[in-house]
């Protein structure tokens, strides 16, 4: 169904849009089926683009929106790609909007007194389009941003990306064709707006056509934007070429926004730090927080790791990661940042299945215990519950998904990574060669990162890594 709001146009806009919730992650609840589900709504402002019909305005800034003057009008919305009539009803002195706010290849038809008088097909070519990102999140933006350029390439439009200034500064060097604006600002003459996010409750089909728990964090976005559903890596460039830390090092990040994301093996990080140091590496912890938690759950920097924590600029993190041999982290923002830099990532996670994050050959999970609650469509994540463990909270099995990931399993993954990438922490520093999974542009911009032999690593031989290489090559050619 589509929404028709009778009233004066100004009142209709106000009635149609409830207060905006912070970000795009509206707090989920485990309410019963009989309870009302509240979905996020956004304030898209008034409809301002004029049509050839006096009194009728039209845009696509929150789904299709059409203001209708008083009279005997009839409105029809059509999804051209599926040949489906989405709305077909009389209208007078009201705002008519689609309930679906994600990308749909719309056709709008208007009739008056039974006669066809106006039609408009969505045409983004040469238009200003706003892709709106939430604030206060890192990994989500890293996952979702690459599709902005794909959308621009597909439709030939001018894309404006609204996000925090710091994140915009990270992306601008590699994406000069995109425009960046501050949050809560609107491009001039904005024809269409699309809202990036994973929307809660996960049954929200107004802002996303699929359940993100099934398709994964990143791949929810190509569904929202009507793009090919393929993984795309963001390109992040270091700001300087020189290597500040001469010795070989590995970066780790152990903190997260929910206890379920942590590696809850109490000895895990301590043993891994000791193991990396025994190999000859310096181990740098680059979390924002040295100690983080809520209530009875608190997590501190691993003993033996070098303290590079703090609220440091993200560009500084990118510069440090660019020269690391590899990164070890969780299903959290800094893992996505490291992936964007183009270095190998060891990801430790049990509450998500691998489909939720980017592909890495070095994913660590133990399937012998409870796992995958985040990607279970029968479970709804509760943001306000830091100790969320929906199946075993307050039982001896709480957080067993990562408590039973052993340091030995992670060590084996590290050994395989080092063999694949021909890494030797006792090597002499030398000029770098091509990065086998990063883009050529990113590799050229981060000299000194690692020494590799001319032989391709084994990891690059599997199909997924080849796809990443081809994609990265295509990015550079487009530039």
Cis peptide leading into residue 364 (ω within 30°)? no
Q: Is 204 considered catalytic here?
A: no
Q: Rounded CA gap, 322 and 259, in Å?
A: 28
Burial of 255 (0-12, 13-18, 19+ CB in 10 A): buried
**Residue 112, CB half-sphere, CA atoms under 13 Å: how many?**
13
What are φ and ψ of residue 107, in 5° steps?
A: -125, 135
Which of 43, 88, 123, 140 is catalytic? The answer is: 140
Report the greatest alpha carbon distance in the chain. Answer: 82
Q: Rounded CA gap, 142 and 222, in Å?
A: 14
Six-digit token string for 369? 């215990």
Question: Count of CB atoms within 10 A of residue 302's CB?
Answer: 19
Residue with tokens 């509240």: 38
Q: Rounded CA gap, 86 and 66, in Å?
A: 14
8 A C-beta contact, residue 308 and residue 285: yes
Q: 306: part of which helix (H) or strand (E)?
A: strand 306-307
8 A C-beta contact, residue 55 and residue 187: no
Catalytic positions are 140
């Amino acid at each position: 169904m589509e929404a028709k709001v009778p009233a004066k146009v100004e009142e209709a806009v106000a009635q149609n849009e409830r207060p905006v919730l912070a970000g795009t992650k509206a707090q989920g609840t485990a309410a019963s089926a009989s309870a009302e589900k509240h979905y996020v709504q956004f304030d898209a402002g008034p409809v301002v683009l004029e049509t050839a019909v006096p009194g009728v305005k039209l845009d696509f800034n929150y789904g299709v929106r059409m203001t209708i003057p008083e009279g005997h009008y009839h409105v029809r919305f059509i999804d051209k790609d599926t040949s489906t009539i989405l709305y077909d009803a009389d209208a007078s002195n009201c705002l008519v909007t689609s309930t679906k706010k994600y990308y749909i290849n719309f056709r709008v038809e208007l009739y008056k007194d039974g006669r066809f008088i106006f039609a408009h097909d969505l045409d983004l070519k040469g238009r200003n389009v706003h892709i709106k990102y939430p604030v206060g999140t890192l990994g989500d933006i890293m996952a979702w941003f690459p599709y902005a350029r794909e959308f621009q390439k597909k439709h030939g439009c001018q894309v404006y990306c609204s996000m925090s200034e710091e994140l915009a500064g990270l992306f601008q060097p590699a994406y000069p064709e995109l425009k960046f604006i501050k949050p809560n600002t609107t491009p001039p003459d904005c024809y269409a707006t699309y809202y990036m996010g994973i929307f809660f409750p996960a049954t929200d089909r107004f802002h996303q056509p699929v359940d993100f728990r099934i398709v994964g964090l990143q791949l929810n976005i190509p569904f929202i934007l009507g793009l090919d559903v393929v993984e795309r890596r963001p390109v992040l460039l270091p700001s300087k070429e020189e290597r500040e830390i001469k010795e070989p090092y590995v970066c780790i990040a152990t903190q997260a926004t929910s206890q379920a994301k942590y590696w809850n093996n109490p000895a895990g990080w301590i043993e891994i730090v000791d193991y990396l140091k025994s190999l000859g590496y310096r181990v740098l912890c680059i979390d924002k927080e040295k100690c983080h938690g809520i209530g009875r759950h608190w997590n501190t920097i691993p003993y033996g790791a070098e303290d590079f924590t703090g609220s440091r600029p993200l560009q500084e993190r990118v510069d440090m990661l660019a020269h690391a041999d590899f990164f070890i982290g969780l299903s959290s923002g800094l893992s996505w940042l490291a992936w964007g830099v183009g270095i190998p990532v060891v990801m430790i996670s049990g509450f998500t299945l691998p489909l939720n994050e980017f592909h890495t050959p070095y994913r660590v999970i133990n399937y012998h215990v409870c796992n995958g609650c985040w990607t279970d469509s029968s479970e709804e994540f509760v943001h306000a519950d830091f100790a969320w463990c929906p199946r075993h909270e307050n039982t001896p099995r709480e957080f067993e998904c990562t408590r039973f990931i052993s340091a030995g399993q992670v060590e084996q993954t590290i050994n395989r990574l080092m063999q694949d990438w021909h890494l030797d922490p006792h090597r002499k520093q030398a000029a770098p060669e091509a990065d086998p999974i990063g883009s050529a542009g990113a590799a050229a911009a981060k000299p000194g990162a690692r020494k590799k032999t001319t032989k391709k690593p084994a990891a690059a031989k599997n199909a997924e890594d080849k796809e990443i290489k081809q994609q990265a090559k295509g990015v550079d050619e487009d530039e």
